[in-house]
Amino acid sequence: MYEDPFSSMGDLFSHGEGSVSKNNNDSETTGPKKDYFSELGDIDFSENLFGNNNVETDDASSRMAVEEDDDTPILQEPQARPHSRAGIYVVCIVAVLAIIFGIALNRHSKTINNSYTENTVVANQGESITNNAPINNNSTIMTNTEEESLSLSCDYILCAGYDSIGNFYELVANQSETAAGFEISIGIIKNNDWLYFPSSSFPFLAEDGLFHVSVSLAGESGTSLKHPGENAVIDNLYYIDSGAFLIDCYKANKKLSIYDHYYIVFSCDTLESTMIDCADTTVFYSYSKPTFASEHVVSYGQMYTDQGELITCTETSGTSSGWLSDQVYQWDIFDTKTLTMTTIASNVRGVRPTGILAEGKFFCTDKCFYNTNGQKVIDLSSYDIDVYEDGDIFFEDGRCTFKVANSLGTKFLITIDATGSVISEIQE
């Protein structure tokens, strides 16, 4: 914190019972104090305060003045004028002020140096980096200057975000060109240090060195990074708030004239990846898409979890009728940090999740909430809830609000707490 070097000098001219203080309105109150300048008396500034200007040194030749008479030379030693008492007082006061000023200036210099040192240390900490990414932990974090940011030495920042404890991750890429074509390498920066050095074998790249993304069956791949606002690469990348990255792939299958839809998830914790086939498995998550302006990234894609976990549902068997009651499902908890799937329910006929996992619970098609052990914890089946239209129901801050209709078709908003007790019921 900056310290005013002159703030401590105010009391130097107060004495005895008096003091000088300021209230919040900046008005001053003073008590009796001794005025040191009252002792100086009347000073005649027309003369040198230190005596007659004609008085020189003690040298014998200069101390003697010759006064001539008619015949007899008389040697007379001049009388030097006594030094002024007031002048001595002034010299003393000036000397004291000079010493005090020097001390205060030294303190001021130390304060500035300390402040600069503290700011430099904080600015160089990895947690302090940010680049178009929201601060999910709502903490105030100092940012590095552009000259200090490692990611700016790369060609592209593909995606970025914070985890719950303030670590900042950046998915970066370089694209080099030769006469034969171009090569893409991808790496990860954590807190302004390399976590995964750029490599052309990063899991988000296929064997041909291009992204696992395609935008058309005609073979137009979204691999070029020249215009990030116009291709499917950055648009399909997400940072997972636990410290992982996901690429949403729609790889064209020309033989079948369809898209193979799958996710590839890379964990910054294990530096490993896994693939989730979306043909049979549904992953429930909340997210925000990346946004662009003038072909520049404004915000990156973000995916939000419940303490790093997501609920998934896999269709294990069933009929081709398409009816929900004929299908059999398996529920799993996907840990985005360890990339492990933990089965919490299997052979579940006709019931599957419809909403995200939040605060340890998720909503299903039977109008009930289940916990991460697959146990039913809140039953809302007595309400007329349209699970297909209004089934995205979840808890937030210990409350859950959902829409119902009574027998007359009148809509109501019901809010419950974490135990299922009704807090409010409001007609729309």
* Rounded mean pLDDT, 359-384: 95
Determine the pLDDT at residue 101: 66
Task: Please tell me the predicted confidence (pLDDT) of residue 97.
Answer: 76
The model's pLDDT over 215-244, given as tens digits with 9 standing for 90+, comes to 444 444 445 565 444 456 788 899 999 999
Higher pLDDT, 175 or 96: 175
The mean per-residue pLDDT over the stretch 394-400 comes to 95
Closest to 186 in 3D by CA, of 207, 200, 170: 200
- Categorize the per-residue pLDDT at 78 as very low, low, confident or very high, splitting at 50, 70 and 90: very low
- Alpha-carbon distances, residue 319 vs 265, 313, 331, 347, 350 (angstroms): 30, 17, 19, 14, 11
User: pLDDT at residue 136 above 60?
Assistant: no
Of the candidates 353, 357, 234, 343, which has an alpha carbon nearest to the alpha carbon of residue 286? 357
User: 83-87, 92-96, 161-165, 192-196 — which is least confidently predicted?
Assistant: 83-87
**pLDDT score, position 226:** 52
- Higher pLDDT: 112 or 190? It is 190
Confidence of residue 214 (pLDDT cuts 50, 70, 90): low
Mean pLDDT of 187-208: 93
| 144, pLDDT greater than 50 | no
Provide the pLDDT for residue 424: 95
For 37-50, the pLDDT digits (tens) are: 444 444 444 444 44
Average pLDDT over residues 106-119: 45
Pairing label, strands 65-68, 291-293: unpaired
Which has more confidence, 141 or 229? Answer: 229
pLDDT for 181 equals 75
Residue, of 388 and 64, whose pLDDT is higher: 388
Per-domain residue ranges of the chain: 7-122, 146-304, 309-427
For strand 168-178 and strand 156-162, is the pairing parallel, antiparallel, or unpaired? antiparallel
Cβ count near 72 (within 10 Å): 6
pLDDT the model gives residue 117: 36
Residue 363 bridge partners (DSSP): 369
427 backbone φψ class: left, alpha, beta (φ>0; ψ -120 to 50): beta
- CA dist 188 and 197 (Å) reads 7
pLDDT at 51: 43
Binned at pLDDT 50, 70 and 90, residue 172 comes out as very high
Residue-level pLDDT at 110: 47
- In whole angstroms, give the CA distance from residue 316 to residue 330: 7
Do the Cβ atoms of 127 and 107 come closer than 8 Å? no
To the nearest whole percent, how much of the chain has pLDDT over 70?
A: 60
pLDDT by residue (tens digit) across 267-325? 999 999 999 999 889 999 999 998 888 767 889 999 999 999 999 999 988 766 668 88
Looking at every residue in the chain, the average pLDDT score rounds to 73
Instruction: Tell me the residue type at 357.
Output: L
More confident of the two residues 238 and 18: 238
pLDDT at 419: 94
For residue 205, how many C-alpha atoms fall within 13 Å in the half-sphere facing its CB? 19
Mean pLDDT value across residues 2-19: 42
